[in-house]
Amino acid sequence: MPTAGLLVIGNEILSGKVVDTNSPYLARELRSLGVDLQRILTIEDDIDLIARETRAMSDAYDFVFTSGGIGPTHDDLTMDGIAKAFGRDIVLNESMVARIERAQGKPPNESQRKMAMVPDGAALVDAGDLWFPVVIVENVHIFPGIPELLRKKFESIRERFRGIPFLLKRVYVKQRESEIAEHLNDLLTEFPELLLGSYPKVGEEAFHVLLTLESRDPGYLQQALEGLLARLPGDAIHKVE
């Protein structure tokens, strides 16, 4: 099972000026592809900090994704930080300069040329109809912070990460979590490889707890579901999805 880490870069996230919607999106997408996202870290725009955390994630996980800090302004430091993480120079990529010129019909200005500065030796992967490619340095995939652009870029390369996806069952329970906790513990004793989540719901009239059961093995998941349903009183189940 491939593992992943996500590095969210931007003072605007830490200050609350911008709400991070990229992390939930990537978490859902990676889960559906069978990638185990094990860490999400949000840091400020600082070259040394970006370099240190990028290198740590690169060493720890199969895939690393970064969000934010690429662009034409003074605080867009992600490329510099990632270059430093791997001891590479930051260089002007003439292919990207040409892409900008084709996209706008005239040579790029200095701010736009800054967007064509990438770590030396980086791989460029076309991102659908976007002029700006996905930049990859070793196992680090560099994405913009703008949600619409990040989603388009990720969609263009998502099949690179496909593994064996998780299968999911949802059980909506009328009893409270304290009433079913012992049954859940017993279930995990019998099915130790099951990923079991228990989420109390406040303000719901039809049910009190949402249980999620996940496994990559459909047979194992079905057996665990049957084992759970057998443990709970019949009138405790609101619905199963």
Same domain, 68 and 153: yes
Same domain, 203 and 89: no
Same domain, 157 and 171: no
Which among 128, 161, 194 is the end of a domain? 161
Is 226 in a helix, a strand, or coil? helix
Q: CATH number of the domain that 19 lies in?
A: 3.40.980.10
Query: What are the average pLDDT values for consecutive 10-residue runs of the chain, which has 241 residues?
Result: 95 96 97 95 97 98 96 90 97 90 88 91 82 92 95 93 91 96 97 96 93 95 97 93 96
The model carries a pTM of 0.85
Same domain, 212 and 125: no
Q: So what's the pLDDT on residue 96?
A: 87
Beta-sheet pairing, 167-173 with 237-240: antiparallel
Q: CATH number of the domain that 193 lies in?
A: 3.30.70.1130
Residue 91's φ and ψ, nearest 5 degrees, are: -130, 155
Same domain, 7 and 100: yes
- Domains identified in the chain, total number: 2
Which residues span the domain enclosing 125? 3-161
CA atoms of 154 and 28, how far apart (whole Å): 12
Same domain, 134 and 200: no
Q: So what's the pLDDT on residue 73?
A: 85
